[in-house]
Amino acid sequence: MANDSNRFQAIISHAKEYGFVFPSSEIYDGLQAVYDYGQWGSELKKNIKDYWWDSMTRMYENIVGIDAAIFMHPTTWKASGHIDNFNDPMIDNKDSKKRYRVDHLIEAHAELLKTGGKEKESDDLLASMDALLAKDDFAGLKKLIEDNKIKCAVSGTSNWTDIRQFNLMFSTEFGSTVSSDDEDNKVYLRPETAQGIFVNFLNVQKTGRMKIPFGIAQIGKAFRNEIVARQFIFRMREFEQMEMQFFIQPGTQKKWYEYWKEERMKWHLALGFGKEQYRFHDHIKLAHYADAACDIEFNFPIGFKELEGIHSRTDFDLKNHQEYSKKKQQYFDNEIDPAIGKPYGNYIPYVIETSIGLDRMFLAVLSHCYEEQDLSTPEKQDSRVVLRFPSKLAPMKLAVLPLMKKDGLPEIARKIMDDCKTSFRCFYEEKDTIGKRYRRMDAIGTPFCVTVDHQTKEDNTVTIRYRDSMKQDRVAIDRVKEIVLAAII
């Protein structure tokens, strides 16, 4: 299904039609690369957040969470290197005035070559691009674009400008009497949540009495003035990250990098989408802070793309914060170093980072679980769209449906609601035929529906209908809650 743009369009339409994702301020025609989550989308997003947060902060006893502010002291971004280095090389097409990120432009061409059967040319092109990017050789990159006759998708021409760097940070001003060019009052909307963790490293370490190795996790908004932003929620200007910085002894980074690669892959695989949906991609050009880095790529409808990054950040961030703030960012390690028989003593810890985009994870879940099924029989044409969400991520866990709006059935259904709604999200509906109600629940991914009918009044049983198999069983009312609870833990 990779690169199936019809499927991607169908998913985007479904997301809107069923209250998952809306374009931001749509009544004003939207705002490019900014989206709002609707009634079911916000539930799904929250469940993904909880799944990550709980596994990080509960499953690992040495990881704690924080919630830092979006605004940070401007020097943070000088120290982190974002003011000087958070740039993307861009190229403009002179005819269409369209701006492209150079790597995306070349990658799209490589993908075209690949789908046209020219695998080797595609691989060679990507390898040449990586080598040139690693050297920041912009003239070489422009030549590569020209030699490969890469054209603008809008104008269809190869009339390119030179390649230039653009900083991706948004800025605003603090205070009310400030003119926009007043550099002293300029603050940035954080482009990553990681720095909120680094500047709180000692606060958390001391107040939490944390011992190395330990981690600090955080979920929060990040902002990037992405130039190419046309891929629904894959690339947004306002998005959320789920990041964890793991503080370790210098020299142990290789071991911990491998450890976190494995742990994070396990986390993804536990959702049951299948091993073949993921792959690692090692970075050749390393970011300014890293000594090793890779992505976990997911098989999105637009092809295999980055879902999560795992970075060995060395002591780059803490060391720079120490230098810029003039405050020591050291840890005293009283563990005995077997080599010298004395404590390891003071050092600036090294860091392994795991960083996953919440919105990208949302898209991975939504796109993988979206299924159009043909249910036609010789007698009757039929189909359904079903979101086969893992039960623990589904926005709604249980629908309670009285078969009819009379004969005391709604009252029994209401009792089931009252019994279950304190434990998980339930939905009550009495309108339309039962078939239509099932299909609406399939379309938002509700794993269980129970129907209250006349037999219920006689023997206290209901029909439970399973979303994926569409099978129906008769179960005692007092088993409903336990069946759902067992599926969502």
| Interface residues toward ligand ATP, by CB under 6 A | 192, 224, 226, 235-236, 239, 241, 306-309, 355-357, 359-360
Return all residues near 334 (Cβ < 8 A) that are at least 6 apart. 343, 344
Residue closer to ligand ATP, measured from CB, 348 or 361: 361
Return the number of the residue (43 or 308) whose C-beta is nearest ligand ATP.
Answer: 308
**Which lies closer to ligand ATP via its Cβ, residue 359 or residue 453?**
359
Retrieve residue 16's tokens.
């809107």
Main-chain phi, psi angles of 377, to 5 degrees: -120, 170
> For residue 316, which phi and psi values (nearest 5 degrees)?
-50, -50
Phi then psi for residue 397, to 5 deg, are -95, -35
User: Count of H helices and E strands in the chain?
Assistant: 16, 23
What letter does residue 406 receive in the DSSP assignment? Answer: S
Q: Which value, in Å, is the radius of gyration of the alpha carbons in the chain?
A: 26
**CB of 34: closest distance to ligand ATP in angstroms?**
10
One DSSP character per residue, 217-273 reads: EEEEEEE---S---SGGGS-SEEEEEEEEEEE-TT-HHHHHHHHHHHHHHHHHTT-S
Query: Which residue number, 353 or 442, has a Cβ lying nearer to ligand ATP?
Result: 353
CB of 358 to ligand ATP, least distance (A): 8
- The structure tokens listed for 222 are 């990040």
Cα angle 52, 58, 62 (rounded to 5 degrees) comes to: 110
Answer yes or no: are the C-beta atoms of 448 and 484 closer than 8 Å. Answer: yes
Q: How far is the CB of 302 from ligand ATP (least distance, A)?
A: 12
Give how far Cα 361 sits from Cα of 28, 172, 279, 355, 438, Å: 28, 29, 15, 11, 27
Task: Tokens for 274, please give them.
Answer: 């299948």
Own/partner pairs, 41-47, CB within 8 angstroms, 24+ separation = 41/15, 41/362, 41/395, 43/395, 43/396, 43/425, 44/20, 44/362, 44/365, 44/366, 44/389, 44/393, 44/394, 44/395, 44/445, 45/240, 45/358, 45/359, 45/362, 47/392, 47/393, 47/394, 47/395
Residues 6+ apart with CB under 8 A from 483: 448, 464, 475
Can you tell me which residue has the tokens 């789908």? Answer: 115
Are 221 and 240 within 8 A, CB to CB?
Answer: yes
Beta carbon of residue 237, minimum distance to ligand ATP (angstroms, whole number): 7
Shortest Cβ 46–ligand ATP spacing (Å): 17
In terms of Cα–Cα distance, which of 192, 199, 136 is closest to 164?
A: 136
Shortest approach of ligand ATP to residue 110 CB, angstroms? 15
Residue 224 is encoded by which pair of tokens?
């990037």
CA distance 324 to 321: 5
| Alpha-helix residue ranges (DSSP H) falling in 135-179 | 138-147
Tell me which H or E stretch contains 293: strand 292-300
The closest residue (CB) to ligand ATP is 357
CB of residue 451 vs ligand ATP: minimum separation in angstroms? Answer: 40
